[in-house]
């Protein structure tokens, strides 16, 4: 007996408001130009992005009270 898919033509979407969805669309090298265009639309004119590089770096802060931050994308401005 085989299992039938009751929704064979169901569309699938990625929610860009989640960390997973945003990284899935913008966090890969093939979509680098898309990310640069998106950032340049969102940022004020004096902060135009020229290039981005993808990295996985953690900033643990200077003291135990500082919050931890993870920087996935570094931008170079024009």
Across the range 13-33, mean pLDDT stands at: 86
Q: Answer whether residue 8 is part of any domain.
A: no
pTM of the full structure:
0.64
Cα 59 from chain centre: 18
Instruction: Give the pLDDT of residue 19.
Output: 80
In a domain, 33, yes or no: yes
Residue 13 lies in a domain: no
Name which residue leads in pLDDT, 35 or 28: 35
Task: Tell me, yes or no, whether 34 lies in a domain.
Answer: yes
Give the total number of structural domains in the chain: 1
pLDDT in tens, 34-78: 999 999 999 998 999 999 988 777 667 777 777 777 767 778 887
Q: Is residue 14 part of a domain?
A: no
Query: For position 77, what pLDDT does the model report?
Result: 83
What does the DSSP assignment read for 48-68?
A: -EEEEEEEEEEE--SSTTSPP
Q: What is the pLDDT, as a whole number, of residue 59? A: 67
- Look up residue 40 and give its DSSP letter: H
Residue 71's SS3 state is: strand
Task: Tell me which residue range forms the domain holding 72.
Answer: 19-77
């Amino acid at each position: 007996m085989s299992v039938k898919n009751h929704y064979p033509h169901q569309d699938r979407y990625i929610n860009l408001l989640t960390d997973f969805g945003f990284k899935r669309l913008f966090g890969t090298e093939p979509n680098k130009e898309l990310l640069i265009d998106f950032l340049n639309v969102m940022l004020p004119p004096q902060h135009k992005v020229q290039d981005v590089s993808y990295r996985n770096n953690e900033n643990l802060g200077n003291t135990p009270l500082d919050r931890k931050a993870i920087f996935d994308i570094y931008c170079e401005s024009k």
